Amino acid sequence: MNRTKTSIQLEWEKFSHLFKREEVWAKTILLKEGEIAKKIYFIEKGCFRLSFNNDGKDITFQFFFEGEGISSAESFRYNQPSLYSIESLESSIVHSLTKTDYFKIIKNSPLIKQDIEEQTIQRLLYIEKLFLSRIKNSPEERYKELLEQYPKILQRVPQHYIASFLGITAISLSRIRNRR
């Protein structure tokens, strides 16, 4: 099968020398809550979660998979302490980019700047939907949405992280799964 690369893929390749390929083990913390994000990561292979500590309780609030970028945007952009941690849930491969190189790319490529702006808007829309879902939907409806978005999540993410993401206990998640 002959696949032609898109113009945006070709544009990104011009800057491939700025990326550092990193292999990370499962349970590796890329960024700790309270630290300043120095890198942005693009996931080639693997699964990651964003989490924070709430009065001693570990709360998972987002998952990331292959083809997605991950960082603490506010921390990375504005040098503020990250509000959350980034952790690998399985052995993974990421391509990291320093802040200096990130801004070098943005400055030198209007096409990539436009691509990143579009990705940022898509991420914002996702977060809006997630926020609304947390307010209006039952845990069972949120579970169904999660399975639709990430059909293989049950094979890749431990149940207690999925339960935390849904805002329920692992026992409640088990009940929901048994009803399906």
pLDDT-derived band at 2, boundaries 50, 70, 90: very low
pLDDT cut 70: percent of the chain above it: 97
CATH homologous superfamily for the domain 7-123 = Jelly Rolls (2.60.120.10)
More confident residue, 177 or 105: 105
Q: How would you list the strands of the sheet with 57-64, edge to edge?
A: 29-31, 85-88, 48-54, 57-64
d(Cα 112, Cα 103) in Å, to the nearest integer?
A: 11
Can you give the pLDDT at residue 38?
Answer: 97
| Inter-residue long-range contacts of 149-158, CB under 8 Å, 24+ positions, other chains counted | 150/63, 150/65, 153/63, 156/47, 156/65, 156/89, 156/90, 157/47, 157/49, 157/63, 157/89, 158/89
Q: What is the pLDDT of residues 86-109, one digit of tens each?
A: 999 999 999 999 999 999 999 999
What integer is the mean pLDDT of 107-125? 93
Is residue 116 predicted with pLDDT exceeding 80? yes
DSSP string, 119-155: HHHHHHHHHHHHHHHHHHS-HHHHHHHHHHH-TTHHH
Q: What is the pLDDT of residues 143-155, one digit of tens each?
A: 999 999 888 898 9
Domain parsing of the chain, residue ranges: 7-123, 137-180
Average pLDDT, the chain: 93
Q: What is the pLDDT of residues 40-53, one digit of tens each?
A: 999 999 999 999 99
Can you give the pLDDT at residue 151?
Answer: 87
Q: What is the pLDDT of residues 6-21, one digit of tens each?
A: 888 899 999 999 999 9
